Amino acid sequence: WPRSSLVTKSLLSLQTEQTDKQMEANGPKEIIERPKWDNKVQYLLTCIGFAVGLGNVWRFPYLCQTYGGGAFLIPYCIALVLEGLPLLHMELAIGQRLRMGSVGVWNSITPYMGGLGVASLLVSFLVGLFYNMILAWILWYFFHSFQNPLPWRDCPVNANLTGYVTECEESSPVNYFWYRTTLNISPNIETSGSIEWWLVLCLATAWCLVYICFIRGIETIGKAIYVTATFPYLVLTIFLIRALTLSGAADGLVYLFTPNWETLKNPKVWLDAATQIFFSLSLAFGGLIAFSSYNPQKNNCERDALIVGCVNSLTSLYASIPIFAILGFKANENYNTCRNMYWLNHLNATNPMEVESLNLKTCDLQTFLDQVRYLFLYSNRSDLNSASGTGLAFIVFTEAVIKMPGSQVWSVLFFVMLFSLGLSSMFGNLEGVLTPLLDLHMVPPWLPKEIFTGLICLTSFTVALIFTLSSGNYWLEIFNSNVGSMPLLIIAFFEIISVVYIYGINRFNDDIEWMSGHRPNIYWQATWRFISPFMLFAVFVAYVVVEAEKRPTYNTWNPNYVHFPLADVLYYPEWVYVICVLLSVIPVVSIPLVAFYHFGRFLKKTIMNRHNQNPYACTSPLILVSIFCSLVLHHESFMKLILHVNGACRCKSLCVCEGVCMCSLTMCYVPVF
């Protein structure tokens, strides 16, 4: 056939046409009834709400303060530009073009990468389990914030009413309320303890609220997001105004932003910056792909990615200011209390020798500010932004709010803000589970979507009961550290490889030009092709090396520990360590399994065809070419490869390219002649 008669098309366009034909045959119901956002603001607020989570309030300030204050912003911004924004743009674009969930998107690009969608689905499900447990803790504190005085202000009296509880006296009221009253925590992970009924009630309430907001999909999410995405900014602004008027606020801000340029020589700073921006944007969960699939295809997804990415990072910086202003106030209060010990001054004047023998430390403001770092460090040992700051939310801030006038009001506002942040992030996690299942028609037609959503929430609630045990906090840390770290890096790496090197970057550029009206510039080209894949691979290798160098440990709260109230650091038992490995591997094992499954089916079909005496069977040596091309599938070089192959074959379903027929292929790359 004449070369000029061949019109090559984008795989994405061909897949869309094929889907359209299938839908016409089966009924156009799915395309017509697919929901859409009411307006662009609704979509942007949902994406921002999913990206801006609890970690923006408590993880970013910790990293910024730990790694040289303002100096940390340099690797953070570099990671945002070279890693975060390119991946965000790619996910929004691919979901918007194909209008499917994560499983459907990657299966459409190539069936061999269909496991990527399954991996994202599993990660979203597992992360949603412990993320909603954090919302349950927040609800528990919210319910107790209406008491006067706040229940974590004073130690409770002991059973015989002769004094205070020893555990509380040896630690502090806020620590006692968190570890004993709230968690009733066991001394180690092997001591499971019983299910705490108050945590079960709070967890059930959290899942009920998520279900109510999610019951009709984006129809109800779109309404709830106006509150859950905007209210945290209102509360942060109120806190900012109030915090800046507190004594010592300037000390906290200076402590936060004073740059220490020497920290930039530490490789771990760059590793944490890269992982923070990656997890903060909620990449590879599948939620962003699902949200963008409800967009009209003619939409500027590049602008959307820039808005969501920049708002997310600016929110982290904005939240750090009131948080550290309040912590500076707390440090200043402790410093003044230390200086105002008149009895000690009197004792020093009358018995200086006895005072000297006590080896008392001098009151120093810097020391009290450094205590903030210790409290951060104690509870920020994981890499995912969801659970890495429980010490800030439930210990540091609750202690600071006690000393603020109108403490009940500030406590209520703070925990409502945290719940709003977590709820909007839960929308994305649940969407990353439901949308792929619905798009793949895995839900029986007779089962209403509302009932199916309720079954997913009920299943998640049942599994999450493990976190309501006395050892639940230890298990939550295990899920947080293993499910939401390495699997996401692997998924994101294969996502960008699939789009750039399997699907083809030029075809992807054509699709973006068709959607937005202009082709991606050199910045997007360079990051997609080289920089972002290299950074993801480097971060993954560095993460594995860092984790392999140390044996996993965890902090326990044990009143019988010799140095109590300091944490008793223990090694994980062998069986727990095996569970940690499984949680890291199980979500991503679907990637090679699905690829091998499709390859096995192809080999079986090829062997069957070779031994089949049917006159329509393919007998050409081109089968070997088909095997190779099925491995690389829709890569652009496939077109060039088949032009130089000659041979005769007979196929029941014929795809022809310049006179050469292609057997055993799932899709034609050019029009059939």
Residue linked to tokens 């292929």: 665
Which band of pLDDT confidence, cut at 50, 70 and 90, is reported for residue 465? very high
C-alpha 506/C-alpha 203 separation (Å) is: 48
- Residue 577, strand partner residues: none
Q: Could you tell me how many residues make up the chain?
A: 673
User: For 50-107, what is each residue's pLDDT tens digit?
Assistant: 999 888 887 888 788 778 677 888 999 999 999 999 999 999 999 999 888 899 899 9
pLDDT at 364: 62
- If you ran DSSP here, which 8-state letter would residue 527 be given? I
3-state helix, strand, coil in the chain (%, to 5): 70, 5, 25
Of 95-99, 477-481, 581-585, 627-631, which range is least confident?
Answer: 627-631
pTM score: 0.82
C-alpha 32/C-alpha 52 separation (Å) is: 32
Structure tokens at 65: 């303060």
- Residue 570, strand partner residues: 554
pLDDT at 624: 42
Residue linked to tokens 């994101």: 492
Neighbours of 35 (CB within 10 A): 13
217 contacts 36 by C-beta, under 8 angstroms: no
Backbone angles phi, psi at 570, to 5 degrees: -120, 155
Which band of pLDDT confidence, cut at 50, 70 and 90, is reported for residue 565? confident
257 contacts 69 by C-beta, under 8 angstroms: yes
Higher pLDDT, 162 or 356: 162
Domain ranges of the chain: 3-601
- Please give the torsion angle defined by the CA atoms of residues 147, 153, 154 and 155, in that order, rounded to the nearest 10 degrees: 100
C-alpha 645/C-alpha 643 separation (Å) is: 6
Residues 6 or more apart whose CB falls under 8 angstroms from that of 157 comprise 163, 164, 165
Position 664, amino acid = S
Instruction: Detail the residues annotated as belonging to a binding site.
Output: 49, 51-52, 56, 280, 312, 421, 425
317 contacts 241 by C-beta, under 8 angstroms: no
| pLDDT beyond 50 at 586 | yes
Tell whether the torsion through CA atoms of 268, 258, 58 and 102 is positive or negative. negative
Neighbours of 256 (CB within 10 A): 21
pLDDT at 628: 43
C-alpha 633/C-alpha 356 separation (Å) is: 79
* For range 477-492, the mean pLDDT: 89
Q: What percent of the chain is predicted at pLDDT more than 70? A: 78
User: For 388-436, what is each residue's pLDDT tens digit?
Assistant: 467 778 887 888 888 888 899 999 999 999 999 999 999 999 999 998 8
User: For 167-217, what is each residue's pLDDT tens digit?
Assistant: 999 888 999 999 999 999 999 999 999 999 999 999 999 999 999 998 888
| pLDDT beyond 80 at 454 | yes
| pLDDT beyond 70 at 629 | no
C-alpha 438/C-alpha 29 separation (Å) is: 13
34 contacts 217 by C-beta, under 8 angstroms: no
Instruction: Detail the residues annotated as belonging to a binding site for Na(+).
Output: 49, 51-52, 56, 280, 312, 421, 425
User: For 232-280, what is each residue's pLDDT tens digit?
Assistant: 999 999 999 988 988 888 888 887 778 888 888 888 888 888 888 888 8
Structure tokens at 437: 């299942």
Residues 6 or more apart whose CB falls under 8 angstroms from that of 506 comprise 636
Structure tokens at 508: 């992807």
383 contacts 279 by C-beta, under 8 angstroms: yes
CA–CA–CA angle 226, 122, 603 (5° rounding): 130
CATH superfamily placement of domain 3-601: Amino acid/polyamine transporter I (1.20.1740.10)
pLDDT at 508: 94
